Structure 1
């Protein structure tokens, strides 16, 4: 989920390079919504002649910080679980 990636980006020093294909897609969504700024590049792999997308996140925008603040005010979802003998739990 892009919001979780935004929260992770808030905890690291920028710029940061993102190489995981799913996270690169999430970065593009965050850029499209104006929550972050990032640069994209294609890197060609010699081993398989494949092309990989890489995103370099340069900064979180003011809108991004506002979204982070709103996320911090959301209540934590209640975690229901079933307790079994010997301390085992099922979430």
Structure 2
């Protein structure tokens, strides 16, 4: 599910590289809906039937953060907190 993947991204220091096909599909859905910013890059094929792709997620957008808040699983940080100001994960 793309929203559960979004929640995983929220708890991961960004930028992050994604190489698994299922997760790249989640990235493409989240980019298309405007919840994250990412670059999806095709790689040279490794075989006649193997399509290789890598995605680099650079940030979660304000819309993505609002969607996470709706899920009510994430701690709420003020917009001027270190988490939002610098994109760092708080411990």
Larger Rg: 1
Distance 2:7 2:63 in 1: 13
Which has a greater percent of strand?
Answer: 1
Structure 2: gaps spanning 5 or more residues: 74-91
Superposition TM-score, scaled by structure 2 size: 0.73
Structure 1: gaps spanning 5 or more residues: 74-91
| 2:35 counterpart residue number | 35
> How many pairs does the alignment contain?
72
- Tell whether 2:5 aligns with 1:5: yes
Distance 1:33 1:51 in 2: 24
* SS of the residue 2:37 aligns to: strand
Stretches of 4+ moved more than 2 A in 1? 48-51
Superposition TM-score, scaled by structure 1 size: 0.73
Task: Tell me the C-alpha RMSD between the 2 structures.
Answer: 1.3
| 2:57 counterpart residue number | 57
Instruction: Give a deviation string over 1:15-69, Cα, whole Å, max 9, x none.
Output: 00011101101100000000000001111244x2533111100000000000000
